[in-house]
């Protein structure tokens, strides 16, 4: 809290105005619209709209496709988080050990952060292209017939790899920061106590990284739920057979492609609730960090 | 710590080199593909060594695009992306820094309410409210315009909180000294607060530039006029049109061009980038 | 140059307590007034009300003839030096000094002249083009002073300007501030919790306690005739001994010893007796009216020895010249005018 404050009553509103106007017009109003819309249903010709209470929500719960999308999102999120965080942790621990050349490796590892998800998707889509891609060619040699256009598992693998690839650099940077904040004296004490490098990692470093790991888990889940839209859209389009349709993609597909506005709005509202929970968790983490 | 275990040191470098290779692999493949003629792909597998068509491919994509795929020249789209990224970054910073100033340095009625209004934007990513937001923008006649591309993305709770954090660490005495020195609120803002937040602004700018450049869904929805296409949002259009007529060399040239600017920014301003990234998450 | 008048000034913080109560002081033009008191007694609050950084809840503050209660700090014609200096970190020393003048629309030539003059007085000319970050603590302190004097204000306000310096530097800066203020003849209010600083700097000092004035006076007045036990204990180092005593039949008894003292008539019953350690003189043997100190331990300070002990069960300290031998017990005498009597309840001075 500031002690010195300016007495003006009008000026702060002028300063806030741009932010508040944009927030109101493009955030709060649409969000309210989504909530309102989620209680409405249009007839087949779009002529009549009626207020249907929670019918859209109930329909979603009974909709096999929606439940499948929930499951797909969960699998996708967990796989991406596990893969990218695992790789990032290995790399971060390695860089942290280095005395020299750490900045060089860091530079060479962080740039994928700047690559748009859709481009990450296209890059891996090209590599996995069933006709000319290099990886299917190699897989074919070992007897695996890769085809993400037809095989659900292959399609999921493709989007997971693309999404994880882009996210490694982000996780890497935060793990490095987390490792650097562990006092060297702790690891030195463990070394004096006779713990070897592996044991030191397992008993000292990793437990102390827990806050970072937890934070990254939340961030990665948020990332896979929203930012990976481009990856899905550009590579699998949610297919084959909806095998890679995550929640966000379904909102888009139902709202813009199928024009099922009520259902799309209900899905938006559910997703908003999920983001609110995730944001709350993230803020709880920050509070902890401050107290730490 | 003094510790010399040769095998462990070798393992460390091995892990890192492997990591660097995995990270670079897809981009290497794309880069190589973009240097070959289209015929190089008919043999069934992607070439792994550079070809000699780099200049031709890139200049073709920059200058004339792929008319069959409905893709205008990249030069124009890159310009649009640049405008979008710069306006978003500048706009977000401008409105966040003034908002934070208002929230930290003034006491006024409904201050808490304003704070919360900004805070909830954190919980409403554009993807979630995409349908109604699209409708608002359409109703305002902002489809196919730079304003439509940028303004709806410009509100930022993250940036506002970052500046709030920065301002809270500036000692009260500095403000008091400025007041005694005859600086009113706006003068204080300009002469003291902005210069003191300079590095934070720069770091945030790097992050937001990347954010703006990499926007996908939003520009995809609101631009139907090719003169407003951005390069990142057009990649899919390009790639899928080409899937039937293999012109992978050209698509990959476009991919490389689309990722080059933000990657250069990250590599060139690594220190600011890391600072910006770590701080916005605090 | 101006006088400053505080008339029944009070401050209540919103949500906080009463920080300052009913303070009235008239500070003459050119006077160096020191506000002294323990931490949290309201010194800074009072100073900041004069500066205009804090609103005034009750009463009035006038600078010269003008009541300034609602005047902006910039328009009060004052300059302030902060404990942490509050130099603008992104400006050079020159820009720091010039900022206030520029905001007032002072012509560039005049600014340059004043900055150079201040730099010469404070000997900071050599680093006018450095940023504060590249200066030592003492140099920063000088720059903060410089920022105050270039303004040529009606009054200087200092809020513990020396407490971030090491002991030696603090001593020399103390002297410089005193000389500078006399030379410029500018009215000054100076806040400190260090009684030694207060004693050495002040023309007059104001002892504050719990937001109220305990005593106003010249340093020697306050030292010689502390108005309350609080002031008695606060001013002077080592602190004045305060021990319970009895008055019966016009005679004073301390630890079983009758002490000769011309007492005002009408006093009877328990009182608090105050005597400064340096006013206690050693005597060869216990005689009439001599106090007997059971020595606990001795601290050697070089120039003097501090003898700690007890009289009739109450702790007592006395100062002896260096090299003075001390046995298990010490006989002490104090002149009548070195004995202070205070009311037991309110702590008010009785004599
Ligand atoms: N902004 C505020 N809101 C509420 N109470 C305050 C505020 N500022 C100070 N106080 C209270 O007012 C009283 C006086 O504070 P002040 O800062 O004037 O003390 P001080 O004598 O300068 O102490 P120090 O020597 O520690 O600087 C204290 O009890 C303090 O807690
Ligand atoms: Mg104070």
Task: Report the nearest-CA residue for atom 4 of ligand 1.
Answer: C16
Q: What's the per-residue H, E or C state across chain B?
A: CCCCCHHHHHHHHHHHHHHHHHHHHHHHHHHHHCCCCHHHHCCCCCCCCCCCCHHHHHHHHHHCCEHHHCECCHHHHHHHHHHHHHHHHHHHHHHHHHHHHHHHHECCCCHHHHHHHHHHHHHCCCCCCHHHHHHHHHHCCCCCCHHHHHHHHCCCHHHHHHHHHHHHCCCHHHHHHHHHCCCCHHHHHHHHHHHHCHHHHHHHHHHHHHHHHCCCHHHHHHCCCHHHCCHHHHHHHHHHHHHHCCCHHHHHHHHHHHHHHHHHHHHHCHHHHHHHHHHHCC
Tokens of A35: 């909530």
Average pLDDT, integer, range B74-79: 89
Beta bridge partners of C273: C243, C341
Mapping DSSP to helix (H, G, I), strand (E, B) and coil, where does residue C125 land? Answer: helix
Interatomic CA distance for residues B59 and B78, integer angstroms? 13
Interatomic CA distance for residues A272 and B125, integer angstroms? 8
Reported as a single tens digit per residue, the pLDDT across A117-138 is 999 999 999 888 888 888 888 8
Interatomic CA distance for residues A127 and A137, integer angstroms? 10
- Return the CATH number at C38: 3.40.50.300
Q: Which chains touch A (3 or more CB pairs under 8 A)?
A: B
Reported as a single tens digit per residue, the pLDDT across A141-200 is 888 888 878 888 889 999 999 999 999 999 999 999 889 888 888 877 877 877 777 888
Phi, psi values for residue C11, rounded to 5°: -140, 125
Q: Classify strands C339-342 and C269-275 as parallel, antiparallel or unpaired.
A: antiparallel
Q: Give the rounded percent of residues in chain C with a pLDDT score beyond 70.
A: 98
- Return the CATH number at C280: 2.40.50.140
Give start and end residues of each alpha helix (H) in chain C.
Answer: 43-51, 93-103, 108-122, 137-149, 167-184, 195-201, 219-224, 229-234
What ipTM goes with this model? Answer: 0.89
Interatomic CA distance for residues C333 and A154, integer angstroms? 102
User: Do C250 and C160 have their domain in common?
Assistant: no
Cα angle, residue B40 at apex, residues B34 and B44 outer, rounded to 5°: 115
Could you say which residues from 102 to 141 on chain B have a Cβ atom under 8 Å away from some Cβ of chain A?
102-109, 111, 114, 117-118, 120-125, 127-137, 140
- Contact by Cβ (8 Å): B5, A77: no
pLDDT on residue B242: 61
Instruction: Decide if B173 touches C, using CB distance below 8 A.
Output: yes
Nearest Cα of chain C lies from the Cα of B175 at a distance, in angstroms, of 8
- Contact by Cβ (8 Å): C226, C215: yes
Q: Would you call A122 and B235 a contact, using CB atoms and an 8 Å cutoff?
A: yes
Closest CA to A256 of A237, A231, A239: A237
DSSP A31: H
Rounded to the nearest angstrom, the distance between the alpha carbon of C222 and the centre of ligand 1 is 24
- Contact by Cβ (8 Å): B216, A116: yes
- Return the CATH number at A186: 1.10.3720.10
Length of chain C: 351
Average pLDDT, integer, range C289-314: 88
Rounded to the nearest angstrom, the distance between the alpha carbon of C19 and the centre of ligand 1 is 7
User: Do C215 and C279 have their domain in common?
Assistant: no
Beta bridge partners of C316: C309
Mapping DSSP to helix (H, G, I), strand (E, B) and coil, where does residue A87 land? Answer: helix
- Contact by Cβ (8 Å): C200, C222: no
Interatomic CA distance for residues C211 and A125, integer angstroms? 75
Tokens of A160: 């997971």
Q: How many domains does chain C have?
A: 2
Q: Would you call A114 and B232 a contact, using CB atoms and an 8 Å cutoff?
A: no
User: Do C227 and C244 have their domain in common?
Assistant: no
DSSP C239: P
User: Do C273 and C125 have their domain in common?
Assistant: no
Out of C216, C232, C248, pick the residue that ends a domain.
Answer: C232
For residue A104, is it within any domain?
Answer: yes
pLDDT on residue C298: 92
For residue A254, is it within any domain?
Answer: yes
Instruction: Decide if C17 touches B, using CB distance below 8 A.
Output: no
For residue C319, is it within any domain?
Answer: yes
Tokens of A280: 């709350």
- Contact by Cβ (8 Å): C126, C139: no
Phi, psi values for residue A38, rounded to 5°: -70, -10
Instruction: Decide if B174 touches C, using CB distance below 8 A.
Output: yes
Buried b / exposed e along C241-274 (16+ C-beta atoms within 10 A): bbbebbbeeeebebbebebebebeeeeeeebbbb
The domain ranges of chain B are 77-244+261-278
Nearest Cα of chain B lies from the Cα of C7 at a distance, in angstroms, of 23
Q: What's the per-residue H, E or C state across A223-250?
A: HHHHHCHHHHHHHCCCCCCCCCCCHHHH
Domain residues for the domain of A239 are 64-289
User: Do C36 and C145 have their domain in common?
Assistant: yes
Closest CA to B13 of A91, A172, A173, A169: A91
What torsion, rounded to 10 degrees, do the Cα atoms B269, B262, A121, A129 define?
-100
Least confident of A200-214, C23-37, C69-83: A200-214
Which of B15, B217, B251 is facing A230, going by the closest CB pair? B217
Least confident of A188-192, B239-243, C102-106, C309-313: B239-243
Average pLDDT, integer, range A79-107: 89
Out of C211, C232, C253, pick the residue that ends a domain.
Answer: C232
For residue A25, is it within any domain?
Answer: no
Rounded to the nearest angstrom, the distance between the alpha carbon of C13 and the centre of ligand 2 is 15
For residue C44, is it within any domain?
Answer: yes
For residue A20, is it within any domain?
Answer: no
For residue C350, is it within any domain?
Answer: no
Q: Would you call B108 and A165 a contact, using CB atoms and an 8 Å cutoff?
A: no
Phi, psi values for residue C321, rounded to 5°: -65, 155
Q: Would you call B263 and A94 a contact, using CB atoms and an 8 Å cutoff?
A: no
Query: What are the C-alpha distances in Å from A21 to residues A33, A139, B119?
Result: 17, 54, 14
For residue C351, is it within any domain?
Answer: no
Average pLDDT, integer, range A77-82: 95
Least confident of B205-219, C36-50, C145-159, C332-346: C332-346
State the pTM of this model.
Answer: 0.87
User: Do C174 and C98 have their domain in common?
Assistant: yes
Q: Would you call C88 and B173 a contact, using CB atoms and an 8 Å cutoff?
A: no
Chain B residue with minimum CA distance to A94: B12
Q: Which residues fall within 8 angstroms of residue A142, CB to CB, at 6 or more apart?
A: none
Q: Classify strands C187-192 and C32-36 as parallel, antiparallel or unpaired.
A: parallel
Q: What is the CATH number of domain B77-244+261-278?
A: 1.10.3720.10
As separate numbers, helices (DSSP H) first and strands (DSSP E) second, chain A gives 15, 2
Domain residues for the domain of C329 are 239-343
Cα angle, residue A86 at apex, residues A83 and A89 outer, rounded to 5°: 145
Q: Work out the pLDDT band at A292, boundaries 50, 70, 90.
A: very low
What torsion, rounded to 10 degrees, do the Cα atoms C43, C45, C48, C49 define?
-110
Q: In this model, does residue C156 exceed pLDDT 80?
A: yes
Cα A10 from chain centroid (whole Å): 40
Could you say which residues from 55 to 84 on chain B have a Cβ atom under 8 Å away from some Cβ of chain A?
none
pLDDT on residue A290: 38
Interatomic CA distance for residues B156 and B8, integer angstroms? 45
Closest CA to C198 of C225, C228, C219: C219
List CB contacts (< 8 A) between A268 and chain B.
128-132
Q: In this model, does residue B190 exceed pLDDT 90?
A: yes
Instruction: Decide if C88 touches B, using CB distance below 8 A.
Output: yes
- Contact by Cβ (8 Å): A129, A136: yes
User: Do C147 and C222 have their domain in common?
Assistant: yes
Q: What is chain A's percent helix, strand, coil content, to nearest 5?
A: 75, 0, 25
pLDDT on residue B247: 78
Mutate to test the pocket of ligand 1, among C23, C40, C54, C157 (most ligand atoms within 8 A of CB): C40
User: Do C156 and C27 have their domain in common?
Assistant: yes
User: Do C222 and C83 have their domain in common?
Assistant: yes
User: Do C47 and C163 have their domain in common?
Assistant: yes
Closest CA to A16 of B50, B214, B113: B113
User: Do C226 and C295 have their domain in common?
Assistant: no
Q: Would you call A191 and B114 a contact, using CB atoms and an 8 Å cutoff?
A: no
Q: How many domains does chain A have?
A: 1
Out of C174, C198, C232, pick the residue that ends a domain.
Answer: C232
pLDDT on residue B243: 55
- Contact by Cβ (8 Å): C143, C132: yes
Query: What are the C-alpha distances in Å from B270 to residues A88, A107, A220, B202, C41?
Result: 18, 7, 22, 12, 50
Integer distance in angstroms from the first to the last C-alpha of chain B? 30
pLDDT on residue C147: 93
- Contact by Cβ (8 Å): B229, B80: yes
Interatomic CA distance for residues A110 and B51, integer angstroms? 28
Beta bridge partners of B66: B71
Helix (H) or strand (E) holding C273: strand C269-275
pLDDT on residue A45: 66
Q: Give the rounded percent of residues in chain A with a pLDDT score beyond 90.
A: 31
Reported as a single tens digit per residue, the pLDDT across B82-135 is 999 999 999 999 999 999 999 999 988 888 888 888 888 877 877 778 888 898
Interatomic CA distance for residues C242 and C232, integer angstroms? 8
Query: What is the side-by-side order of every strand in the sheet holding C18-27?
Result: C18-27, C4-12, C58-63, C66-67
pLDDT on residue C336: 81
Task: Report the nearest-CA residue for atom 19 of ligand 1.
Answer: C40
Exposed (0-12), middle (13-18) or buried (19+): which is B43, by Cβ within 10 Å? Answer: exposed
Please compute Rg for chain C using Cα positions: 24
């Amino acid at each position: 809290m500031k002690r010195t404050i300016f007495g003006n009553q009008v000026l702060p509103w002028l300063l806030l105005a741009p932010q508040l106007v944009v927030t109101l017009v493009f955030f709060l109003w649409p969000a309210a619209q989504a909530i309102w819309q989620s209680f409405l249903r249009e007839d087949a010709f779009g002529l009549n709209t009626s207020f249907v209470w929670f019918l859209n929500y109930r329909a979603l719960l009974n909709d096999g496709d929606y439940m499948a999308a929930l499951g797909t999102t969960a699998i996708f999120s967990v796989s991406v988080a596990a893969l990218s965080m695992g790789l990032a942790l290995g790399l971060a621990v390695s860089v942290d050990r280095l005395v020299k050349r750490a900045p060089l490796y860091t530079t060479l590892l962080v740039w994928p952060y700047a690559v748009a998800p859709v481009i990450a998707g296209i890059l891996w889509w090209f590599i996995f292209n069933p006709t000319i891609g290099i990886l299917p060619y190699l897989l074919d040699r070992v007897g695996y017939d890769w085809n993400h256009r037809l095989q659900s598992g292959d399609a999921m693998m493709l989007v997971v790899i693309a999404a994880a690839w882009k996210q490694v650099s982000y996780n890497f940077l935060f793990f490095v920061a987390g490792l650097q904040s562990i006092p060297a004296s702790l690891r030195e004490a463990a070394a004096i106590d006779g713990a070897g490098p592996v044991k030191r990692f397992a008993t000292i470093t990793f437990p102390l990284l827990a806050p970072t790991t937890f934070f990254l888990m939340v961030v990665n889940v948020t990332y896979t739920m929203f930012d990976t839209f481009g990856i899905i859209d550009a590579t699998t389009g949610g297919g084959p057979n909806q095998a890679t349709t995550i929640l966000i993609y379904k909102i888009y597909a139902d709202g813009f492609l199928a024009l099922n506005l009520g259902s799309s709005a209900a899905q938006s509202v559910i997703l908003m609730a999920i983001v609110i929970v995730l944001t709350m968790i993230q803020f709880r983490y920050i509070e902890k960090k401050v107290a730490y | 710590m003094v510790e010399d275990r040769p095998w462990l040191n070798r393992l460390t470098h091995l892990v890192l080199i492997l990591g660097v290779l995995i990270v670079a692999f897809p981009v290497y493949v794309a880069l190589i593909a973009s240097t070959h003629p289209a015929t190089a792909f008919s043999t069934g597998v992607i070439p792994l060594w550079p070809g000699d068509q780099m200049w031709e491919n890139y200049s073709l994509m920059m200058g004339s695009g792929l008319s069959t795929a409905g893709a205008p020249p990249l030069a124009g789209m890159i310009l649009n992306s640049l405008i979008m990224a710069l306006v978003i970054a500048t706009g977000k910073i401008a409105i966040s820094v003034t908002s934070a100033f208002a929230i930290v340095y003034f006491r006024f009625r409904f201050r808490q309410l304003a704070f919360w209004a900004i805070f909830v934007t954190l919980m409403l990513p554009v993807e979630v409210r995409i349908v109604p937001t699209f409708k608002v923008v359409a109703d305002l006649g902002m489809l196919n315009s730079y304003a439509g591309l940028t303004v709806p993305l410009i509100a930022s709770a993250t940036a506002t909180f970052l500046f709030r954090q920065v301002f809270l660490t500036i000692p009260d005495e500095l403000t008091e000294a400025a007041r005694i020195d005859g600086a009113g609120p706006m003068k204080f803002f300009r002469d003291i607060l902005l210069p003191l937040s300079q590095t934070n602004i720069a770091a945030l700018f790097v992050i937001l530039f990347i954010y703006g450049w990499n926007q996908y869904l939003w520009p995809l929805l609101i631009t139907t006029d090719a003169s407003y296409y951005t390069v990142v949002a057009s990649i899919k259009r390009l790639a899928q049109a080409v899937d039937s007529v293999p012109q992978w060399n050209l698509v990959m040239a476009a991919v490389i061009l689309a990722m080059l600017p933000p990657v250069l920014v990250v590599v060139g301003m690594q220190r600011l980038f890391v600072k910006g990234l770590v701080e916005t998450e605090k | 140059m101006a006088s400053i008048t505080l008339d029944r000034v009070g401050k209540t913080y919103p949500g906080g307590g009463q920080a300052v109560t009913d303070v009235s002081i008239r500070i003459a033009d050119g006077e160096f007034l020191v506000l002294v008191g323990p931490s949290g007694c309201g010194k800074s609050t009072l100073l900041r009300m004069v500066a205009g950084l804090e609103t005034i809840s009750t009463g009035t503050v006038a600078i010269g003839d003008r009541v300034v209660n609602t005047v902006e700090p910039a328009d009060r014609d004052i300059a302030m030096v902060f404990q942490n200096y509050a130099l603008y970190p992104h400006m050079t020393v020159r820009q720091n000094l010039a900022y206030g003048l520029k905001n007032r629309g002072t012509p560039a030539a005049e600014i340059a002249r004043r900055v150079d003059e201040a730099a010469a007085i404070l000997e900071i000319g050599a680093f006018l083009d450095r940023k504060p970050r590249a200066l030592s603590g003492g140099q920063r302190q000088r720059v903060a002073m410089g920022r105050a004097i270039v303004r040529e204000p009606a009054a200087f306000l200092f809020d513990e300007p020396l407490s971030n310096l090491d002991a030696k530097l603090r001593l020399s800066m103390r002297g410089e501030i005193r000389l500078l203020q006399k030379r410029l003849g500018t009215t000054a209010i100076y806040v400190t919790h260090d009684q030694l600083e207060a004693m050495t700097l002040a023309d007059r000092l104001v002892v504050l306690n719990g937001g109220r004035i305990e005593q106003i006076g010249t340093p020697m007045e306050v030292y010689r005739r502390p108005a309350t036990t609080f002031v008695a204990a606060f001013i002077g180092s080592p602190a004045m001994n305060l021990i319970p005593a009895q008055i019966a039949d016009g005679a004073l008894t301390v630890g079983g010893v009758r002490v000769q003292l011309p007492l005002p008539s009408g006093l009877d019953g328990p009182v608090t007796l105050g005597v400064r350690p340096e006013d206690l003189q050693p005597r060869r043997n216990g005689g009439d009216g001599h106090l007997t100190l059971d020595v606990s331990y001795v601290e050697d300070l070089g120039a003097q020895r501090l003898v700690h002990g007890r009289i009739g069960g109450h702790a007592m300290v006395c100062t002896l010249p260096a090299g003075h031998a001390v046995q298990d017990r010490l006989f002490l005498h104090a002149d009548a005018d070195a004995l202070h009597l205070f009311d037991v309840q309110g702590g008010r001075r009785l004599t």
